[in-house]
């Protein structure tokens, strides 16, 4: 069976790897190259801490375990052109200011009920975990299972492994599709038609546009996120540290600018500071409000940051699904067309589990969990479209 995967970001690479490992003949197509967009413009979160009980939390818990094993496999056997994933199970620390401490404690209790390790920590314990945290922070929750990869490198590593197992990678833009009897039989590129028995749309924030090109339907929109990177320094941030209001912002559908602080160190010694969310299309304009608001909130969490230098900043577009769940599975209208998109800020973390769900949908291999909540045909996604 020959499968075309469209998009060489983290989700496309993970789908290609899962499908190749399951024995399919896979060709990955991307208009720019591996990890050219969203997967090179994000933080590489593999989080369980920001998920409340529900389908996405189940997927996140599964993906968290899968990443641990996958990173070991990828990094243990590298080849030229395959970078290390920089997987690090550093753990997350979520902190709350003032009155929101109670809300955070309640949220953590619901997480513990579904098996997430969420350990309440006192002010003193917080200082042991993060000595440079602001004195104003009085309560927090420690999530030992939160992890991180360098997202671009992890994507490259997954694709390199897939190619080593026989997948083909080609730079080509999709301009249309070929159908026969209501079934997709190939995709059109400027260089000709590429025949396929199945097509998997992993085009991230462009997945809606690609779905339309292929005759299908998917409501995925770009949500802009800005990240600040400091100059390298001796390590002063030891976990992924974020403000409890992050959880609210992730689940929000508000179009206006929202920011919530996420701070962490990288192996290169830089500190990454996020995060913002805006529904502004694919716009590069008006970047100052998110940049300055992120900076203001981060210095409130870690006062020492005020005197550190910004080395660079960048922004990317996350694939936003109106009902906040990724769309994974068969298209409702076109046979042979599948989607794996709409993970918003969780695409890196959820990628390996998404790949397994796609292998189930396309090839019928065992499903790692109930696929129903994520189906692109679900009411929540259809009604919003």
Partner 1 sequence: MTRRVAILGAGPAGLAAADAALTAGAEVILLDEGERIGGQFWRHHEQLTDRRMQHQHARFAQLRRAVGAATVHCEASVWRVDADRGIRVHALLGPADASGREAITIDADALVIATGAHDRALPVPGWTLPGVITAGAAQALAKRDGATIGARTVVAGSGPFLLPVAEGIALAGGSVVEVVEAAGVGAIARGWGRAPWRLAAVAGKSGELAGYVGGLLRRRTPYRFGQAVTRIHGVGGVEAVTVQRVDARWRPIPGTDRTVECDSVALGHGFTPRLEAAIQAGCDLSTERFVVVDDRQATSVASVFAAGEITGIGGADAALAEGAVAGFAAAGGALDDRRIRGALRARTRMHAFAARLDTHAIRPGWTSWLDDDTIICRCESVTRARLDEYAAASSRAMRLATRAGLGACQGRTCGRTVETLTAAGVDFDRRPVLSSIRIGELARLHHAEHKEQE
* Site residues (vs partner 1, CB under 8 A): 8, 30, 32-37, 40-41, 80-81, 83, 150, 152-153, 155-156, 226, 228, 230-231, 268, 273, 285-289, 291-293, 295-296, 298-299, 305-315
Of the two residues 39 and 354, which places its CB atom closer to partner 1 in the complex?
39
Q: How far is the CB of 135 from partner 1 (least distance, A)?
A: 17
Q: Distance (Å, rounded) from C-alpha 238 to C-alpha 264?
A: 7
Note whether 377 and 219 are within 8 A (CB). Answer: no
- Give the whole-angstrom CA distance, residue 152 versus residue 377: 30
For the chain, the straight-line distance linking the first and the last C-alpha, in angstroms and rounded, comes to 32
CB atoms within 10 A of CB 306: 11
- Locate 230 and state its tokens: 């400091």
Minimum separation from the CB atom of position 357 to partner 1 (A): 25
Angle of the 10-21 helix axis to the 347-363 helix axis, nearest 10: 40
Phi-psi region of 111 (alpha: psi -120 to 50; beta: other; left: phi over 0): alpha
For partner 1, which is the closer residue by CB, 20 or 85?
A: 85
Residue 154: CB minimum distance to partner 1, A: 10
What's the closest the beta carbon of residue 268 comes to partner 1, in angstroms? 7
Nearest in space to 351 (alpha carbons), one of 164, 167, 152, 170: 152
Whose Cβ is closer to partner 1: residue 148's or residue 230's? 230
Nearer residue to partner 1 within complex by CB, 289 or 332: 289
Nearer to partner 1, 86 or 331 (CB): 86
Beta bridge partners of 183: 180, 335
Least spacing, CB of residue 170 vs partner 1, in Å: 11
Residue of 225, 289, 231 whose CA lies nearest to 37: 225
For partner 1, the closer of residues 168 and 197 by Cβ is 168
3-state secondary structure of 338: strand
> 102: exposed, middle or buried (C-beta count within 10 Å: 0-12, 13-18, 19+)?
exposed
SS3 state at 149: coil
Shortest CB 139 distance to partner 1, Å? 24
List the beta bridge partners of residue 228: 273, 313
Report, in Å, the least distance between residue 80 CB and partner 1: 5
CA-based radius of gyration for the chain: 20
Select 63 or 298, whichever has its Cβ closest to partner 1: 298
Tokens of 46: 């593999």
Min. distance of Cβ 183 from partner 1 in angstroms? Answer: 32
Instruction: Give me the residues paired with residue 337 across strands.
Output: 199
Nearer to partner 1, 124 or 288 (CB): 288
């Amino acid at each position: 069976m020959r499968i075309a995967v469209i998009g060489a970001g983290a989700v496309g690479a993970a789908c290609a790897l899962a499908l190749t490992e399951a024995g399919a003949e896979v060709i990955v197509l991307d208009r720019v190259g591996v990890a050219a967009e969203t997967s090179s413009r994000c933080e590489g979160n593999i989080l369980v801490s920001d998920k409340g009980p529900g389908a996405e939390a189940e997927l996140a818990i599964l993906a968290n375990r899968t990443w641990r094993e996958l990173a070991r496999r990828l990094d243990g056997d590298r080849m030229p052109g395959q970078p290390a994933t920089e997987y690090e199970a550093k753990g997350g620390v979520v902190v709350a200011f003032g009155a929101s401490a109670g809300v955070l404690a309640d949220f953590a209790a619901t997480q513990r009920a579904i098996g997430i390790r969420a350990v309440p920590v006192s002010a003193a314990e917080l200082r042991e975990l993060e000595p440079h945290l602001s004195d104003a922070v009085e309560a927090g929750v420690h999530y030992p299972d939160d992890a991180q990869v360098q997202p671009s490198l992890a994507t490259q590593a997954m694709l390199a492994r897939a190619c080593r197992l026989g997948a083909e990678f080609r730079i080509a833009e999709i301009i249309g599709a070929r159908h026969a009897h209501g079934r997709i039989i190939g995709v059109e590129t400027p260089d000709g038609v590429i025949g396929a028995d199945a097509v998997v749309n992993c085009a991230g924030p462009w997945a809606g546009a690609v779905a339309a090109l292929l005759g299908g339907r998917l409501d995925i929109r770009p949500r802009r996120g800005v990240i600040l990177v400091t100059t390298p320094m001796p390590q002063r941030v030891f976990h992924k540290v974020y403000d409890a209001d992050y959880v609210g912002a992730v689940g929000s559908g508000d179009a206006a600018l929202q920011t919530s602080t996420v701070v962490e160190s990288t192996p290169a010694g830089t500190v990454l500071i996020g995060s913002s969310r805006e529904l502004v299309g694919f716009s590069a304009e008006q970047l100052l409000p998110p940049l300055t608001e992120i900076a203001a909130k981060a210095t409130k969490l870690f006062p020492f940051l005020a005197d550190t230098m910004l080395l660079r900043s960048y922004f990317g577009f996350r694939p936003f699904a109106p009902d906040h769940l990724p769309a994974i599975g068969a298209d409702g209208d076109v046979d042979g067309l599948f989607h794996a998109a709409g993970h918003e800020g969780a695409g890196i973390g959820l990628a390996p589990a998404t790949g397994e769900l796609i292998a189930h949908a396309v090839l019928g291999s065992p499903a790692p969990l109930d696929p129903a909540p994520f189906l692109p045909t679900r009411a929540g996604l259809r009604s919003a479209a």
